[in-house]
Chain A
Amino acid sequence: MENHLLSIVTFLPIFGAVVIALVPREKLNWIRWGAAAITGLQLILAIWILKVFDFSTPEVQLVEHYAWIPDFNIEFFMGIDGLSAPMVLLTALLSFLAVFTSWNIEKAQKGYFALFLLLDAGMMGVFVSLDFFLFYIFWEVMLLPMYFLIGIWGGPQREYAAIKFFLYTLFGSVLLLLGMLALYFISEPHTFNMLILAEQSSQFGKGLLLGMNAGKVIFILLFVGFAIKVPIFPFHTWLPLAHVEAPTAISVILAGVLLKMGTYGFLRISFPILKEAAIWFALPLAILGLINIIYGAMAALAQRDLKKMVAYSSVSHMGFVLLGMAALTPAGMNGAVFQMFNHGTISAMLFMLVGVVYDRAHHRDIEGFGGIAKVVPIYAGVTAMAFFAGLGLPGFSGFISEALCFIGAFPVFTWITIFATLGIVLNAGYFLWAYQRIFMGELNSKYENLEEINNRELFALIPLAIITFFLGVYPTPMLNLMSSSLNHLVEVVKSAGMVAGL
């Protein structure tokens, strides 16, 4: 069974979706608990994977490798290393917790949970695939359930948000497909195997495509594909809309897992396969990271809708990831991936908390509350913690990863890093200002009887809070998990650059 752990963890939710589709729609509890059981089992499997995972080597592990479409040398190739392991854990964890956040979905619960599980399978598949074609299939498969989940169960503007999300990401995907095929035909023998493609890295810089350096053209194609997902300015306009319109649990998944796929794509595909182009593009990437940090934070500052504010904070936080990875230093790289994980847990908490208050007050206008800490002290306490984690207060995991990104980037992009630290101040600004307006001051009389956060909601939040706190105090286990793979990645990219004389 250990040999097939990755397929099991990926395809288990599909099995679950089929089972749920067969349950009669009146049996609401069966459906919910079924989804919880499947994702719970998936989480246990993910933890098991980490247990058998040997983090001392950068090798890919738990490999499953079969021929799939031999005519085109397409393989069914799965495996994980220190880069994907944290993402597998994050996906399983957030999927499980998001089931509880979805408890009160009001309509067509059966369809909702079936699609949710399909989405889960797609996300997991992306993180464990080592064949580019397989990766692409999972990447696309994820879009369909997402489209329905936003479009059917979302807020008032859901139809527009869903199609906008779909169009943007599909546009990114087709560029990805082009880049993928170009890589396939330049490699010799033709292959989609990411590890072999990475070995042939030097080939891609030599050829010409559209009259330009093939490696750079392909890098740009893949870059746009991934950038839309991250999202990197100026490809971010789908994000605030989709995040705001999606139901709470789906916002959690969007922010917690989907955004990570873009940066994961850079690190899994663009960097190791197109090493020279990655070095060539490092500075633009760092600048884009800076724009994300500052622009995201400024936009968040200007929002009155709490959910929109959290959505823009994601744009800002993903900027740190970009800055860290662009630096191509061990500290920056570890910081970037650690930040991916931390943003996953922290933004998930933030969206859950927004959902909690929205369920009760039926609006999210920051100005429309006031003084509610008196009525809902526990909720206020948990929110305070999540906001502090979000603004990167020492003692929470976000602080460590942002600091690592800065430490890694400072020697390489000194001025950019200096400006980027402004982002921290702005982050603190909008989080604290929002907190103040919602929880402090005069109690808004409308909310004298606001209901306190309930146990189910706390159940989804507390594990995340514990992780955030624990990794903030003692980040070593997570850093150990990923460092050997990431240091290796930095090393190979750098040495390829040396050879090419960059």
Chain B
Amino acid sequence: MNLNQIVTDLSYFLPELILTAVLLMVIIFDLFQKAETSIRAGYLAIGGLALVTLALFGQDVSAPQGIFSNMLAVDGFGRYFKVVVSVGAMLVMWMSLNSNELKNRRVGEYYVLILVLVLGMFFLVSATHLLSIYISLEMVSIMSYLLSGYLKEQMRSNEASIKYVVFGAFSSGILLYGFSLLYGLTGSASIFEIQAALSAGAISPVLLLLILVMVLVGFGYKIAAVPFHFWTPDVYEGAPAPITAFLSVAPKAAGFAIIIRFFNVAFSSSGNPNMEAWSALENMNWQAVIGLMSVLSMTVGNVIALQQSNIKRMLAYSSIAHAGYMLLGVVVADQTGISAILYYAAIYMLMNLGAFFVAIHVKNAFDTEEIEDYQGLGYKAPVLGVIMAIFMFSLTGLPPTGGFVAKFYLFRALIEYGDLYFWLALIGLVNGVISLYYYMRVVKAMYFGKMEIPETVHNAPLNITILLVILAVPLLFAWMVGDPLSAYTQDAVHFFIN
């Protein structure tokens, strides 16, 4: 690889370069700020990310490229997730500006850490080489550990961070071991060459199963799928609330991106996810294993969520269930399945961030995270109540909200596949009914029970209200004429193939 090639490749790397420049700028800018004014770094970071997002939209991905010796891919699929992640990061930073937990402390590096996390996810969603996958995964993980322990003086935040580190180190160790086996067996670390070597055959099925399990441990932990979910509730409860919101959405989406890319290239029969449909490698039925993981995630997540009384823990368990729904799309190795996941990831980001943000504001204003204490919120704070109800309905998947449309596309993909996945669809839908119960507990607390119209209604600050409206409105109109997001996700299923 010569220097000229690197320079050409850099032109495909513009969003990442801008992001790097922004994060360096924020670090330097923060040096000149006092603790009280360090929040300005947040505004700078949001502005920078907006620029990055623009650069992403400006990027030409019509001809997918591999850059830096095919370490990274620049394609429609990767770009979609980069947009999701950076929009999510902007929204979370916006909410962080209002967070009480982060008041009265230096927050410059907080925003820097989020930016680095975003950069890590940019790499992760486009990685096509075992090394780039592992490094970017670690980059995401380490930033997540740091951010969940950001409230240094709080025991729970420390606990969250430590638990996260222990689980994370353990699972990435196993992932690395799996990778080393793969490399040893195939003699290559590029996922394309791995696919070629594996599909040539002559590898023992037992070994393949071992590799599959090890890879799934590493990736499954990132998306918090059962049985790799044990860290989730404690980390989500202890971390600063905006970070919890972010962790439940962005790294999860990035984790799905790498699962989709890795499995549908390295472990598929054709190695080409740009075809209409394909199947798993012979001797390695990962579709069945992921199907099982999906059923477990949905069921365990939902059943445990039923018993939670703290809203953050409830949302944590429900996020496990949502990972299960999204895994359903992975099981169907075809384009409709993948575009359904892309759709779900975007809608899920809106509704889950929304629910967390309401919870954060309620904590700021009324100092509680218990669902019981939402009693009468619908009357005390009518705007907040209605918006929260929309998020809850959407998370349940009730029409006419975006959550329904997202689920509809997923189950449509499953049933289209035929008889085989009908049971999976049934289990998924029944899980939706279970989730109704705990999401409605929030609505019930807000509206049912004793009603007293207070003298003065509580209104969230204007900027929070605007933020919540931005999140809620697309959910209400997602299904309207034409559904532009659906068209966009279908275009985005476009992979780089070596």
Contacts A163-B440, A210-B422; is A140 near B416 (CB within 8 Å)? no
**Interface-facing stretch out of B74-82, B341-349, B423-431:** B423-431
Counted as pairs of residues, one from A and one from B, with CB atoms less than 8 Å apart, the total is 86
A36, B289: Cα distance in complex, Å: 58
One digit per residue, 1 when the CB lies within 8 angstroms of any chain B CB and 0 when it does not, for chain A 159-172 equals: 10011001100110
- From B434, which residue of chain A is reached at the shortest CB distance? A167
Contacts A137-B400, A177-B411; is A170 near B451 (CB within 8 Å)? no
Minimum Cβ distance to chain A for residue B408 (Å): 8
Residue among A68, A178, A208, A209 making CB contact with B429, cutoff 8 Å: A178
Residue among A107, A136, A151, A208 making CB contact with B444, cutoff 8 Å: A151
Cβ < 8 Å to A, chain B residues 71-114: none
Cβ < 8 Å to B, chain A residues 188-244: 208-211
- From B398, which residue of chain A is reached at the shortest CB distance? A140
Cβ < 8 Å to A, chain B residues 356-401: 393, 398-400
Tell me, yes or no, whether B461 is within 8 Å of chain A by CB: no
Interface hub of A107, A171, A178 (most chain B Cβ within 10 A): A178
- Are B415's CB and A182's CB within 8 A? yes
- Are A158's CB and B448's CB within 8 A? yes
Residue among B411, B449, B487 making CB contact with A71, cutoff 8 Å: B487
- Are A170's CB and B486's CB within 8 A? no
Tell me, yes or no, whether B432 is within 8 Å of chain A by CB: yes
Tell me, yes or no, whether A148 is within 8 Å of chain B by CB: yes
**A residues less than 8 Å from B404 (CB atoms):** 140
- Are B449's CB and A178's CB within 8 A? no
Cβ < 8 Å to A, chain B residues 211-227: none
Minimum Cβ distance to chain A for residue B140 (Å): 34
- Are B433's CB and A159's CB within 8 A? no
Minimum Cβ distance to chain A for residue B225 (Å): 22
**A residues less than 8 Å from B425 (CB atoms):** 178, 181
A170, B404: Cα distance in complex, Å: 12
A147, B415: Cα distance in complex, Å: 30
- Are B400's CB and A151's CB within 8 A? no
Minimum Cβ distance to chain A for residue B386 (Å): 10
One digit per residue, 1 when the CB lies within 8 angstroms of any chain A CB and 0 when it does not, for chain B 455-493 equals: 000000000000000000000000101110011001000
Q: Give the secondary structure class of B's interface.
A: helix
Tell me, yes or no, whether A144 is within 8 Å of chain B by CB: yes
A108, B376: Cα distance in complex, Å: 13
**A residues less than 8 Å from B408 (CB atoms):** 177
- From B441, which residue of chain A is reached at the shortest CB distance? A163
- Are A170's CB and B415's CB within 8 A? no
Contacts A177-B411, A208-B419; is A144 near B398 (CB within 8 Å)? yes
- Are A174's CB and B429's CB within 8 A? yes
Tell me, yes or no, whether B412 is within 8 Å of chain A by CB: yes
**A residues less than 8 Å from B444 (CB atoms):** 151, 159, 162-163
Number of interface residues of B (CB under 8 A): 36
Tell me, yes or no, whether A69 is within 8 Å of chain B by CB: yes
A152, B378: Cα distance in complex, Å: 11
Tell me, yes or no, whether B436 is within 8 Å of chain A by CB: yes
One digit per residue, 1 when the CB lies within 8 angstroms of any chain A CB and 0 when it does not, for chain B 435-447 equals: 0110010001001
Tell me, yes or no, whether A33 is within 8 Å of chain B by CB: no
A166, B433: Cα distance in complex, Å: 9
A158, B448: Cα distance in complex, Å: 9
- Are A163's CB and B422's CB within 8 A? no
**A residues less than 8 Å from B481 (CB atoms):** 68-69
Contacts A185-B416, A210-B422; is A170 near B433 (CB within 8 Å)? yes
**A residues less than 8 Å from B416 (CB atoms):** 185
Tell me, yes or no, whether A143 is within 8 Å of chain B by CB: yes
Tell me, yes or no, whether A141 is within 8 Å of chain B by CB: yes
- Are A144's CB and B393's CB within 8 A? yes
Contacts A107-B451, A143-B398; is A170 near B423 (CB within 8 Å)? no
- Are B436's CB and A166's CB within 8 A? yes
Minimum Cβ distance to chain A for residue B284 (Å): 26
Contacts A68-B481, A159-B449; is A178 near B433 (CB within 8 Å)? no
**A residues less than 8 Å from B423 (CB atoms):** 210
Minimum Cβ distance to chain B for residue A70 (Å): 8
- Are A174's CB and B432's CB within 8 A? yes
**B residues less than 8 Å from A148 (CB atoms):** 447
- From B440, which residue of chain A is reached at the shortest CB distance? A163
Minimum Cβ distance to chain B for residue A179 (Å): 10
**A residues less than 8 Å from B419 (CB atoms):** 208-211
**B residues less than 8 Å from A137 (CB atoms):** 399-400, 479
Contacts A208-B419, A209-B422, A210-B422; is A171 near B449 (CB within 8 Å)? no
- Are A171's CB and B412's CB within 8 A? no
A178, B426: Cα distance in complex, Å: 7
Contacts A141-B400, A144-B398, A210-B422; is A181 near B415 (CB within 8 Å)? yes
Minimum Cβ distance to chain A for residue B1 (Å): 42
- Are B433's CB and A174's CB within 8 A? yes
- Are B415's CB and A178's CB within 8 A? yes
- Are B448's CB and A151's CB within 8 A? yes
A152, B484: Cα distance in complex, Å: 37
Minimum Cβ distance to chain B for residue A20 (Å): 15
- From B444, which residue of chain A is reached at the shortest CB distance? A159
- Are A167's CB and B426's CB within 8 A? no
**B residues less than 8 Å from A184 (CB atoms):** 412, 415
**A residues less than 8 Å from B418 (CB atoms):** 185
A167, B425: Cα distance in complex, Å: 18
Minimum Cβ distance to chain A for residue B416 (Å): 5
Minimum Cβ distance to chain B for residue A90 (Å): 24
**B residues less than 8 Å from A147 (CB atoms):** 440
- Are A163's CB and B483's CB within 8 A? no
Cβ < 8 Å to B, chain A residues 369-418: none
**A residues less than 8 Å from B398 (CB atoms):** 140, 143-144, 170
A108, B453: Cα distance in complex, Å: 9
Minimum Cβ distance to chain B for residue A88 (Å): 22
**B residues less than 8 Å from A210 (CB atoms):** 419, 422-423
Residue among B411, B433, B490 making CB contact with A181, cutoff 8 Å: B411
Cβ < 8 Å to B, chain A residues 79-135: 107-108
**A residues less than 8 Å from B448 (CB atoms):** 151-152, 158-159, 162
- Are A69's CB and B430's CB within 8 A? no
- From A136, which residue of chain B is reached at the shortest CB distance? B399
**A residues less than 8 Å from B433 (CB atoms):** 167, 170-171, 174
**B residues less than 8 Å from A209 (CB atoms):** 419, 422
- Are A71's CB and B451's CB within 8 A? no
Residue among A143, A162, A166, A174 making CB contact with B430, cutoff 8 Å: A174
**A residues less than 8 Å from B411 (CB atoms):** 177-178, 181
- Are B437's CB and A167's CB within 8 A? yes
- From B426, which residue of chain A is reached at the shortest CB distance? A178
**B residues less than 8 Å from A162 (CB atoms):** 444, 448
**B residues less than 8 Å from A144 (CB atoms):** 393, 398
Residue among A136, A167, A182 making CB contact with B436, cutoff 8 Å: A167
A208, B432: Cα distance in complex, Å: 26
Interface hub of A72, A171, A181 (most chain B Cβ within 10 A): A181
A210, B426: Cα distance in complex, Å: 11
**A residues less than 8 Å from B422 (CB atoms):** 178, 182, 209-210
Contacts A136-B399, A140-B398; is A166 near B440 (CB within 8 Å)? yes
A453, B260: Cα distance in complex, Å: 68
A137, B401: Cα distance in complex, Å: 10
**A residues less than 8 Å from B415 (CB atoms):** 178, 181-182, 184-185
**A residues less than 8 Å from B412 (CB atoms):** 72, 181, 184
8 A-B contact pairs sorted by A residue (CB < 8 Å)? A69-B479, A72-B412, A141-B400, A162-B444, A163-B444, A167-B436, A170-B436, A185-B416
Interface residues of A (CB under 8 A from B): 68-69, 71-72, 107-108, 136-137, 140-141, 143-144, 147-148, 151-152, 158-159, 162-163, 166-167, 170-171, 174-175, 177-178, 181-182, 184-185, 208-211
Shortest 4 CB-CB distances between A and B: which pairs? Answer: A174-B429, A140-B399, A181-B415, A151-B448
Q: A158-B448, A163-B440, A178-B411 are in contact. List 10 more A-B contacts (CB 8 A).
A: A72-B412, A140-B398, A147-B440, A148-B447, A159-B444, A159-B448, A163-B444, A175-B429, A181-B411, A210-B423
